[in-house]
Amino acid sequence: MTAVRLPLGLPRRVPVRQILCLVPLALVLAVAVHHRSVLAEGFGRLESAEWPWLAAAVGATCLTWVAAAFTRQGAVMQRLPACRLLATQFAAGAANHLLPTGLGASAVNLRFMTVCGVPLARSSAALALYMLAESITRTVLLLALLLAFPDALHTGGLVPASATGPVLLAAAGAVCVAVAVLLLVRRLRTAVSSFLRTALREARSVHTRPARALALWGGSLAFPALQAAGLAAVGQALALPVPPVRMAVAYLAATLAVAAVPTPGGIGSVEAALVVALVAAGGPVAVATAVVLAYRIITVWLPLLPGALTLGALVRLKVI
């Protein structure tokens, strides 16, 4: 049998994995071009800041990836490779800023746990447990700070009285629609019931091991605390006349308020909410805007390109 040669002009097939490695870089370029004016203004604000405080903000941002890695490990019984887990959190941060809120990081971590040998059902349960723990600790931290410092934030400037009714009605309507769909669609009801049983079983297993429970709840508490500390450090760097505790409360309140907004990484919505929250805490509008722009440069834009490169490398190495 004679070998069949391909025509010289026929292009070689490009592996799908190589194309996927370039997708994060293309998305970073598109997002950066779309927000180029914000980037230019943010970098301009950094020139007049006090660098020791900016270095503290960068350090707090780096520690958030460590806290996320601890929380991810605490949410699953199987031991995950530490170095690859940390690299995955850094890459997941970039993915989270390129896709609607939470989807990027969730997809990256779900794929990572699956590659590590965790069954899909348990990986999904661990993902749900992580999100639940992070939401609970963020809310508890905010409530604790408000109880300790009741005058730290004037919520009237954040949520106008005229908007309270429509927001509550919309939330109640969404809950009613979700419950109705769940009750009417039998296949969906069965899938949700199966998932809840798996999630509860995994949650009980995790909490039978003190080390896992400590990693889960300690990491989920440290994550928003470090984020708030980063904002407070940037506020100090730009001489925002607001006490650090008030800045922390403003950050937690703003991020909780925009948690349901489906924008990539909260870009746009987070900035607006943070400015409003800092102004409500007593900061001048101009300085509060400068602080928010500088903070988002440090936490979003500076890690975005290296995070995308890390994501591409992890895809190429089949870590995810």
79: left (phi over 0), alpha (psi -120 to 50) or beta: beta
pLDDT band at 44 (very low <50, low <70, confident <90, very high): low
User: Is there a domain that residue 252 lies in?
Assistant: yes
**Domain count of the fold of the chain:** 1
pTM of the model: 0.77
| Residue 11 covered by a domain | no
- The kind and range of the H/E element at 153 are none
Rounded alpha-carbon distances, angstroms, from residue 216 to 71, 73, 92, 177, 233:
4, 7, 18, 32, 26
Q: Residue 272 — very low, low, confident or very high, per pLDDT cuts 50/70/90?
A: confident
Measured CA to CA in angstroms, residue 160 lies from 16, 146, 166, 174, 289 at distances of 49, 19, 11, 21, 20
Q: Tell me the CA end-to-end span of the chain in Å, nearest whole number.
A: 41
State the residue range of the domain holding 261.
Answer: 37-159+168-316
Asked if residue 145 belongs to a domain, the reply is yes
Q: Is residue 46 part of a domain?
A: yes
Cα→Cα distances 111→167, 231, 270, Å: 35, 31, 27
Q: For position 165, what pLDDT does the model report?
A: 52
Cβ contact 163:171 at 8 Å? no
Average pLDDT over residues 185-209: 79
> Does 75 score more than 80 pLDDT?
yes
**Is residue 58 included in any domain, yes or no?**
yes
Note the pLDDT tens digit of each residue in 3-28.
555 455 445 554 555 555 555 556 55
**Does residue 3 form part of some domain?**
no
Q: Which two tokens stand for residue 114?
A: 């699956």
Q: How many other CB atoms are there within 10 angstroms of residue 210's CB atom?
A: 8
Give mean pLDDT, residues 104-127: 90
Residue 2 maps to a domain: no
The three-state secondary structure class of 133 is helix
pLDDT for 157 equals: 47
Helix ranges restricted to H, 47-119: 51-74, 82-98, 103-115
